[in-house]
């Protein structure tokens, strides 16, 4: 005799609804829950988005309009003059000279910083004990303010006095005290600028290279060692090709940072950036600072900002095109 079918059907007990079958779509959320989630998102992200829009994107748009206006002594839109600010900027010998100087500075500081940071990363990577301590020691200068480091270089290391650290070290080798930051022949102020930039940036890029080195599997080196690859051959055939993406990213960051150089130049040669024209070297940002803040020609300064931005974007895109940045291996 068959048993009567149970009153509970497929898990339905004591009045509870049966569980949805496996693989079925989850029921839609309640409207009240969705509204509370959106309200929480708006409360948390709203101030950030508003501040970003007002103080960044609206400011960029307003600056673009100023670059086509004759705005002197005010940031209000003045007489519309079209491309006159851009023409005046590109025809100014001082601005063209600043572009030449920053290109020369970039052409020297980028490969030197790249080689120094890669070399330090290779050395630290080979050390088994104390690697974290060395990594931290080299990274600390990256957290130092450019203003503080510039004043330290100017007043202590290269102050031009016989008691200055650079002149004291030079005196051990029979060198006379020299004014490092003055306009001299040869231009010794480049030594001050280069050493300052290296001290501030090498540690940061070294950490990037070190992260790339630590991501390389040891099995690759072991297999290469079995084939007889050692020393420079191992570096050329294994390490550098694997670090290609890291190297391209580091070069891109260095190019952008070099073209944006301002703090060390301003603090080392502040008398020249005040409009007197006595600075031995001036960056485009220094020129724009004099134009916008000194002469209060905000239209010309805005035009210069967009010219410099276009230059940085163009160099970055060209570098990415040449090096194949972001290209996936087919």
- Cα–Cα distance for residue pair 169/180, rounded to 1 Å: 13
CB 169 within 8 A of CB 161: no
Token pair of 60 as six digits: 């960029």
DSSP state of 297: B
Say what the pLDDT of residue 22 is. Answer: 58
Is 3.40.1390.30 the CATH classification of the domain at 86-323? Answer: no
214-230 pLDDT per residue, tens: 888 877 777 777 766 66
How far CA 110 is from CA of 58, 92, 107, 256, 258, in Å, comes to 33, 27, 6, 10, 8
3-state secondary structure of 80: strand
Cα separation of the two ends of the chain: 70
- Name 69's bridge partners: 80
Residue 7: which pLDDT band, with cuts at 50, 70 and 90?
very low
**Hey, how many other C-beta atoms are within 10 angstroms of the C-beta on 189?**
21
62-104 pLDDT per residue, tens: 989 988 988 888 788 878 888 888 998 898 898 888 899 899 9
- Cα–Cα distance for residue pair 97/87, rounded to 1 Å: 16
- Tokens 């650290």, residue? 165
pTM of the model: 0.77
78 class by beta-carbon count within 10 Å (0-12 exposed, 13-18 middle, 19+ buried): middle
- Cα–Cα distance for residue pair 166/192, rounded to 1 Å: 10
Whole-number mean pLDDT of the chain?
Answer: 81
């Amino acid at each position: 005799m068959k048993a009567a079918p149970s009153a509970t059907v497929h898990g339905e007990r004591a009045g509870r609804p049966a569980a949805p079958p496996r693989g079925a779509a989850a029921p839609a959320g309640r409207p009240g829950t969705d509204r509370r989630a959106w309200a929480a998102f708006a409360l948390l992200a709203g101030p950030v988005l508003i501040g970003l829009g007002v103080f960044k994107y609206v400011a960029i748009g307003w600056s673009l309009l100023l670059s086509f206006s004759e705005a002197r002594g005010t940031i209000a839109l003045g007489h519309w003059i079209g491309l006159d600010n851009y023409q005046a900027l590109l025809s100014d010998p001082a601005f063209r000279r600043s572009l030449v100087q920053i290109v020369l500075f970039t052409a020297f500081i980028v490969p030197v910083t790249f080689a120094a940071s890669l070399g330090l990363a290779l050395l630290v990577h080979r050390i088994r004990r104390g690697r974290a301590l060395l990594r931290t020691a080299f990274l600390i200068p990256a957290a130092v303010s450019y203003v503080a480091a510039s004043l330290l270089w100017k007043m202590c290391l290269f102050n031009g006095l016989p008691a200055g650290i650079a002149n004291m070290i030079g005196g051990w080798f029979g060198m006379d005290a020299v004014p490092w930051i003055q306009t001299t022949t040869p231009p010794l102020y480049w030594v001050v600028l280069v050493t300052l930039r290296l001290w501030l940036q090498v540690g940061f890029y070294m950490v990037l290279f070190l992260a790339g080195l630590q991501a390389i599997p040891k099995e690759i080196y072991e297999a290469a060692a079995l084939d007889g690859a050692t020393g420079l051959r191992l570096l050329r055939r294994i390490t550098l090709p694997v670090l290609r993406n890291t190297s391209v990213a580091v070069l891109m960051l260095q190019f952008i940072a070099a073209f944006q150089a301002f703090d060390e130049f301003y603090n080392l040669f502040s008398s020249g950036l005040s409009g007197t024209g006595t600075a031995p070297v001036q960056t485009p940002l220094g020129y724009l600072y004099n134009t916008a803040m000194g002469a209060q020609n905000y239209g010309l300064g805005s035009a210069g900002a967009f010219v410099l931005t276009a230059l940085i974007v163009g160099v970055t895109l060209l570098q990415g095109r040449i090096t194949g940045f972001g290209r996936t291996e087919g």
